[in-house]
């Protein structure tokens, strides 16, 4: 059983225990254990072999035994019997706002309701309102929640959410009453998808700000409007929250609502260790003093000594003895420990890119010509652009065969000599990985290219072993430069193929093959959660827009965000390198 599957089982146990009304701290122990296992770099097999499983913080004797059992046998009696004792529909009921483990348990226990459909019927019959602890308002809210879940339940791509958020932020900043305004939440953390939008504003006059916000033309419905918080729903179903606080609370509110929840939990524990209670309103000294006096490092030079003087997130981290943690890293995946020891990397920035590989033209399924793509690269101030059209197996995409590709190579060389564009064009291809792992084009042609991207576009349903072996065989091909969209996932639409990402990373490292960070907002593939491990093994990244028309080159903005989420520095990304270094690197690979 893979680590991902084991993590999934532990998380499910937590949910099941919650519904069973178990000790909430036990529930959290399973949640923490799952997260700890997910975060740790090593493979489960290695952890077991070297007897380090219960050394992981958050994994004790009991969880370690369960993880070993799951890894070796693929199942766990405890989980099976737990699952058998809880109707599957109850897990879904937890997704309804206002329903947690205790209420779901009460509904199930008292009414025998086991599905959303039965719950709807029970509400409509007025039975839920009669339960102790419930009332007519709870019943109405549950019905609304079920309705909204169907209509508005979906998440939104980061890219689309940002397009919506930017003008709102500009509007808020333009109000005379507004001192500062920022967006927060998963949008600020650059998660690949976003559930809702959060804005934090510093102002001493909240009312006009609230009035402006709820009166905007794009507001479909105002769901809450108070002195410090308003919520609206857009026509698209996207929920937008606004919080207005006095300027001396702004930094705390911004940090709190940026999250993640798990990051906040760790930050509060850290604050307590130093004798302070941290909340969205500020830092207050606790009477008992520091819980962990040994851990309290001296206040940094120049940092505020008085929490009441904290006005920025930088000062907040500083006060707690940490370097500033960029929002992208706030997932409680090791950033706090690293920030304590000044160990955070200097993250790549949008302006660091000097070009991109994996771009299509009208030769295959793109809608811009090579010249238009080069012009767009010039407009971005890039030094180079890689052309990588599809190969012949991607028939539906008008993929190039050997003869057409050889002709395109000549055209690209001539284009470079013509001086039409400042950007140097590289001749590449996005070569299909055939179902058995062979490449789609003859080696005699691949050798003439500057680089080769290899990608899977067929037979998505192969088993993990087959598709992983297929990809590794392609990586071992001497002409392969980089591997494209590693899992083939389409966010919010379909899962990727069942490839074992860890094995592919190992193969890429062993063969000196680059892994692409496909920056198409629907892909963002390889996932940010794997990049630390990959670069730790020496794998190089390339942030590629997978552009099918000239304006798509801007997708790299999303790619850089995800690269930052993956802790990447500029140096670890091929297309931040200057032209001569890239030329030397590609030439040095024997092509």
Partner DNA sequence: GCCGTTTTCGGCCCGACTGTTTTCAGTCG
Q: Which residues bind DNA (CB under 7 A)?
A: 23, 25-26, 28-30, 32-33, 54, 56-64, 78, 96-104, 129, 132-139, 141, 198, 224, 226, 228-229, 257, 261, 264-265, 268-269, 272, 277-281, 284, 286, 291, 294
Nearer to DNA, 213 or 567 (CB): 213
Distance CA 149, CA 147 (A): 5
Closest contact distance (angstroms) between CB of 288 and DNA is 8
Cis bond before residue 526 (omega within 30° of 0): yes
Instruction: Choose between 28 and 537: whose C-beta lies nearer to DNA.
Output: 28
Tokens of 166: 């930017």
* 367 backbone dihedrals φ, ψ, rounded to 5°: -115, 5
In whole angstroms, what is the distance from residue 448 CA to residue 94 CA? 57
Taking alpha carbons only, the member of 38, 28, 29 closest to residue 8 is: 38
- 178 CB-near residues (< 8 Å, 6+ apart): 172, 201, 202, 203, 209
Among residues 195 and 208, whose Cβ is nearest to DNA? Answer: 195
Residue 260 preceded by cis peptide, ω within 30: yes
In terms of CB distance, is 195 or 512 closer to DNA? 195
Closest approach of Cβ 59 to DNA, in Å?
6
In the complex, the smallest distance separating the C-beta of residue 185 from DNA, rounded to whole angstroms, is 7
Query: Closest CB to DNA among 93 and 540?
Result: 93
Task: Kindly state the smallest distance separating residue 102's Cβ from DNA, in Å.
Answer: 4
Beta carbon nearer to DNA, 169 or 498: 169
110 vs 370: CA distance, rounded Å = 67
Query: Closest CB to DNA among 290 and 512?
Result: 290
Q: How far is the CB of 74 from DNA (least distance, A)?
A: 19
Q: Which helix (H) or strand (E) holds 25?
A: helix 24-39
Closer of 28 and 160 to DNA (Cβ): 28
Cβ closer to DNA: 3 or 360?
3
Measure Cα distances from 354 to 449, 542, 588 in Å: 20, 11, 20
Query: 215: exposed, middle or buried (C-beta count within 10 Å: 0-12, 13-18, 19+)?
Result: exposed
CB of residue 230 to DNA, shortest distance in Å:
11
**SS3 category, 526:** coil
CB of 320 to DNA, least distance (A): 14
- Least Cβ distance, residue 116 to DNA (angstroms): 14
Cβ–Cβ < 8 Å for 393, 383: no
Residue 226: phi, psi to the nearest 5?
Answer: -130, -165
Strand ranges across the sheet with 541-544: 355-356, 384-390, 424-432, 453-455, 482-483, 514-518, 541-544
Cβ nearer to DNA, comparing 258 with 576 = 258
Q: CB nearer to DNA: give 281 or 395.
A: 281
Residue with Cβ nearer DNA (289 or 351)? 289
CB closer to DNA out of 27 and 550: 27
Query: Which run of H or of E encompasses 77?
Result: helix 77-84
Q: Is 80 helix (H, G, I), strand (E, B) or coil?
A: helix
Q: How far is the CB of 589 from DNA (least distance, A)?
A: 45
Q: Angle at Cα 259 formed by Cα 257 and Cα 265, nearest 5°?
A: 115
Cα distances (Å, whole numbers) of residue 7 to 4, 56, 97, 221, 267: 5, 14, 25, 38, 23
Q: How far is the CB of 281 from DNA (least distance, A)?
A: 6
Q: Which is nearer to DNA, 317 or 426 (CB)?
A: 317
Least CB distance from residue 489 to DNA, whole Å?
25
Q: How far is the CB of 274 from DNA (least distance, A)?
A: 12
Closest CA to 328 of 572, 565, 88, 576: 565
Distance from C-alpha of 445 to C-alpha of 9, rounded to nearest angstrom:
47
Residue 388 parent element (H or E): strand 384-390
Q: Is the separation of the CB atoms in 292 and 282 below 8 Å?
A: no
* Token representation of residue 459: 């037979």
Strand, helix or coil at 505?
helix
Q: Single out the residue of 379, 441, 436, 433 nearest to residue 405, CA to CA.
A: 441
Compute the least distance from the CB of residue 430 to DNA, in Å.
40
**355 forms bridges with which residues in the sheet?**
384
CA angle 212, 218, 221 (to 5 degrees): 85
**Closest distance to DNA from the beta carbon of 268 (Å):** 4
């Amino acid at each position: 059983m893979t680590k991902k599957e084991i993590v999934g089982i532990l998380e499910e146990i937590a949910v099941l225990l919650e519904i069973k009304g178990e000790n909430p701290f036990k529930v959290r122990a399973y949640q923490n254990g799952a997260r700890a296992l997910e975060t740790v770099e090593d493979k489960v097999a290695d952890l077991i072999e070297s007897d380090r499983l219960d050394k992981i913080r958050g994994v004790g004797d009991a969880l370690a035994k369960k993880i070993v059992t799951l890894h070796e046998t693929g199942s766990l009696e405890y989980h099976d019997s737990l699952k058998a004792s809880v109707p599957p529909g109850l897990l879904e009921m937890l997704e309804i706002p206002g329903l947690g483990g205790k209420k779901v348990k009460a509904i199930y226990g008292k009414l025998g309701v086991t599905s959303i459909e039965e719950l709807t019927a029970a509400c409509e019959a007025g039975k839920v309102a009669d339960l102790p602890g419930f009332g007519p308002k709870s019943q109405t809210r549950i019905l609304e929640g079920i309705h909204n879940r169907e209509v508005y339940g979906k998440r939104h791509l980061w890219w689309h959410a940002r397009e919506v958020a930017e003008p709102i932020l500009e509007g808020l900043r333009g109000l005379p009453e507004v001192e500062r305004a920022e967006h927060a939440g998963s949008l600020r953390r650059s998660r690949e998808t976003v559930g809702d939008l959060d804005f934090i504003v510093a102002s001493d006059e909240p009312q006009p700000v609230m009035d402006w916000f709820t009166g905007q033309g794009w507001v479909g419905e105002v769901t809450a409007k108070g002195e410090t918080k308003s919520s609206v729903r857009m026509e698209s179903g996207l929920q937008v929250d606004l919080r207005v606080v006095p300027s001396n609370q702004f930094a705390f509110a911004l940090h709190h609502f940026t999250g993640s929840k798990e990051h906040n939990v760790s930050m509060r524990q850290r604050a307590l260790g130093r004798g302070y209670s941290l909340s969205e309103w500020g830092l207050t000294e606790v009477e008992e003093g520091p819980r962990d006096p040994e851990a309290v490092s001296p206040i940094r030079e120049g940092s505020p000594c008085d929490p009441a003087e904290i006005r920025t997130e930088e000062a907040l981290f500083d006060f707690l003895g940490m370097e500033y943690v960029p929002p992208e890293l706030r997932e409680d995946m090791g950033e706090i420990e690293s920030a304590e020891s000044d160990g955070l990397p200097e993250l790549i920035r949008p302006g660091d890119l000097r070009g991109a590989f994996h771009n299509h033209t009208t030769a295959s399924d793109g809608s811009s010509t090579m010249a238009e793509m080069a012009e767009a690269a010039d407009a971005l101030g890039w030094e180079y652009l890689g052309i990588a059209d599809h190969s012949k197996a991607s028939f539906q995409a008008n993929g190039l065969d050997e003869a057409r590709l050889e002709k395109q190579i000549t055209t690209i060389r001539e284009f470079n000599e013509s001086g039409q564009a400042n950007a140097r064009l590289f001749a590449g291809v996005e070569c299909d990985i055939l179902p058995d792992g062979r490449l789609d084009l003859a080696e005699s042609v691949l050798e003439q290219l500057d680089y080769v991207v290899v990608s899977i576009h067929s037979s998505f349903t192969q088993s993990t072993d087959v598709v992983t072996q297929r990809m590794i065989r392609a990586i071992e091909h001497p002409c392969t430069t980089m591997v494209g969209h590693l899992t083939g996932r389409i966010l919010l639409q379909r899962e990727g193929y069942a490839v074992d990402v860890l094995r592919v990373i190992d193969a890429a490292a062993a063969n000196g093959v680059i892994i692409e960070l496909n920056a198409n907002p629907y892909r963002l593939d390889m996932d940010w959660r794997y990049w630390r491990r990959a670069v730790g093994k020496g794998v190089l990244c390339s942030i590629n827009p997978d552009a099918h028309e000239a304006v798509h080159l801007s997708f790299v903005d999303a790619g850089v965000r995800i690269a930052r989420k993956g802790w990447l520095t500029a140096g670890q990304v091929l297309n931040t390198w200057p032209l001569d270094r890239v030329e030397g690197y590609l030439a040095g690979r024997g092509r």
